[in-house]
């Protein structure tokens, strides 16, 4: 296992650095590193590491969302309000509709299979978007109109909505029925996640005030509480709807609200943790990519992804109607909301494991979506934010 960790860190750092030098996003190099040393090429990653790959990726996501919460201001969120709420579900819904229209024509699958595919592809990647929005907040780019805050909040909730759609459509594909309860659970899980996160965050601030401890210890405590959130969702989510990742961000938000100086200090600690977490996240995403799926993919799959991305961008444009954003700022929002990676890597293979006829197609398109949109979306953000945002 130790040598596998060395391969992951060294290759991730090296290829990430090379990509950065040629003005490409470093995450692209990390994904390529994962493909190279993954089980489908050089096979240098131990099975024991691959078996816990999903958990490692979740830890990285938790670190991202804690950072996001610690940097988010409640007042800034109030500014964006309605558009941030719309960003949680409108772009994904319109993208799924686009998939249902085009996938049967381009891939020869049924409308229901297209809906399953749309639910997998429709999720945006917090792993790509959130760190970049945090960077924008740090630099003060677009913050006067709440642009990074809006995208950050929307990207964090978007996945919850899409995963519920995925569960519903796969149930139908397996001969089940649509449960109204599952759709009702979406807002309930979001609300319970926010409330619990805020309450625990307030409690932690009181605790930190009462008992003196080093900031490093506080970082460990917050991480531990965040892991408990994910455990509760996995164990009791069917009984009590609960969005653990939203609770994680709400926890950080409350700490910033109650004690801003503490939030700033903790944020710098998590920034250092992210240096390591980012490498593991994207290298392991790359390791999950199956080369055989890429070989069987045709031009049709690439065309399909480009088509549904236009639908997603249209959805983002709809969300920004009625706001004070100018054309450049709206275009930035549309480009920034395109990357896909972590959700597709996590659930792209599930339809195949379920024995669905469209399983192989879903996996193939998921792989291509990661390879096209993750680097392309990151590149678009990195290259345009200084030109499009004040």
> In this predicted structure, what is the pLDDT of residue 296?
60
Q: List the structure tokens of 49.
A: 């590491």
For residue 98, pLDDT over 90 is answered with yes
Please list, residue by residue across 172-207, b when 16 or more beta carbons sit within 10 angstroms of its beta carbon and e when fewer do: ebeeeeeeeeeeebbeebbebbbebbbebbeebbee
258-268: average pLDDT: 88
Sign of CA dihedral 162, 179, 62, 144: positive
Summarize pLDDT for 170-202 with one digit per residue, the tens. Answer: 877 876 555 666 667 767 887 888 899 999 999
Report the 10 Å Cβ neighbour count for 23.
Answer: 9
Do residues 146 and 76 lie in contact, with contact meaning Cβ atoms separated by under 8 Å? yes
Summarize pLDDT for 324-378 with one digit per residue, the tens. Answer: 888 999 999 999 999 987 678 767 777 877 788 888 788 788 878 888 898 888 8
29-37: average pLDDT: 88
CA distances from 314 to 310, 321, 359 (A): 6, 11, 28
Predicted confidence band of residue 294 (pLDDT cuts 50, 70, 90): low
For residue 122, pLDDT over 80 is answered with yes
> In this predicted structure, what is the pLDDT of residue 293?
60
> In this predicted structure, what is the pLDDT of residue 154?
83
pLDDT top residue among 68 and 63: 63
pLDDT top residue among 59 and 289: 59
> In this predicted structure, what is the pLDDT of residue 187?
78
210-215 long-range contacts, CB within 8 A, separation 24+:
215/262, 215/265, 215/266, 215/269
> In this predicted structure, what is the pLDDT of residue 297?
61
User: Among 192, 203, 221, 76, which residue's Cα sits nearest to residue 134?
Assistant: 76
For residue 292, pLDDT over 70 is answered with no
Summarize pLDDT for 306-338 with one digit per residue, the tens. Answer: 999 999 999 999 999 888 888 999 999 999 999
Share of the chain above pLDDT 70, in %: 92
Q: What is the mean pLDDT of the chain?
A: 85
Sign of CA dihedral 36, 38, 41, 46: positive
Predicted confidence band of residue 76 (pLDDT cuts 50, 70, 90): low
pLDDT top residue among 292 and 232: 232
- Judged by average pLDDT, the poorest of 137-141, 226-230, 364-368 is 364-368
270-278: average pLDDT: 86
Report the 10 Å Cβ neighbour count for 318.
Answer: 15
Report the 10 Å Cβ neighbour count for 50.
Answer: 17
> In this predicted structure, what is the pLDDT of residue 6?
92
Q: List the structure tokens of 189.
A: 């899980």
Q: List the structure tokens of 304.
A: 């399909």
Q: How far is CA 304 from the centre of its chain?
A: 21
């Amino acid at each position: 296992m130790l040598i596998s960790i060395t391969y992951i860190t060294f290759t991730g750092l090296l290829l990430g650095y090379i990509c950065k030098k040629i003005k490409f996003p470093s995450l692209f190099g990390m994904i390529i590193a994962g493909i190279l040393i993954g089980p489908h090429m050089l096979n240098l990653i131990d099975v024991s590491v691959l078996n816990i790959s999903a958990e490692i990726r979740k830890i990285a996501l938790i670190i991202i969302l804690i950072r996001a919460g610690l940097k988010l201001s409640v007042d800034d969120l109030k500014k964006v309000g309605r558009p941030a709420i719309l960003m949680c579900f409108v772009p994904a819904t319109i993208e799924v509709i686009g998939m249902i229209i085009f996938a049967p024509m381009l891939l020869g699958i049924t409308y229901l299979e297209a809906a399953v595919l749309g639910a997998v592809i429709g999720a945006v990647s917090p792993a790509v978007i959130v760190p970049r929005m945090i960077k924008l907040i740090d630099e003060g780019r677009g913050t006067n109109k709440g642009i990074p805050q809006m995208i950050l909040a929307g990207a964090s909730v978007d996945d919850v909505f899409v995963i519920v759609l995925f569960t519903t459509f796969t149930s139908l594909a397996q001969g089940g029925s649509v449960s109204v309860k599952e759709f009702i659970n979406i807002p309930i899980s979001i609300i319970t996640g926010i409330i619990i996160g805020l309450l625990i965050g307030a409690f932690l601030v009181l605790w930190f005030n009462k008992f003196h401890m080093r900031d490093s210890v506080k970082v460990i405590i917050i991480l531990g509480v965040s892991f408990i959130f994910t455990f509760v969702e996995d164990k009791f989510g069917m009984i009590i709807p609960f969005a653990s990742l939203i609770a994680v961000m709400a926890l950080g938000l409350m700490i910033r609200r109650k004690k801003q100086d503490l939030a700033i200090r903790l944020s710098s600690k998590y920034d250092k943790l992210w240096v390591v977490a980012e490498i593991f996240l994207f290298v392991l995403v790359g390791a999950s990519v199956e080369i055989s799926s890429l070989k069987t993919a045709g031009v049709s799959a690439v065309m399909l992804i480009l088509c549904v991305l236009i639908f997603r961008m249209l959805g983002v444009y709809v969300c920004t109607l009625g706001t004070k954003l100018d054309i450049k700022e709206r275009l930035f929002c549309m480009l920034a909301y395109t990357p896909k990676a972590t959700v597709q890597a996590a659930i792209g293979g599930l339809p195949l494991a379920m024995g669905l006829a469209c399983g192989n197609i879903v996996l193939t398109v998921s792989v291509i979506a990661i390879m096209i949109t993750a680097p392309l979306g990151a590149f678009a953000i990195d290259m345009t934010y200084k030109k499009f945002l004040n």
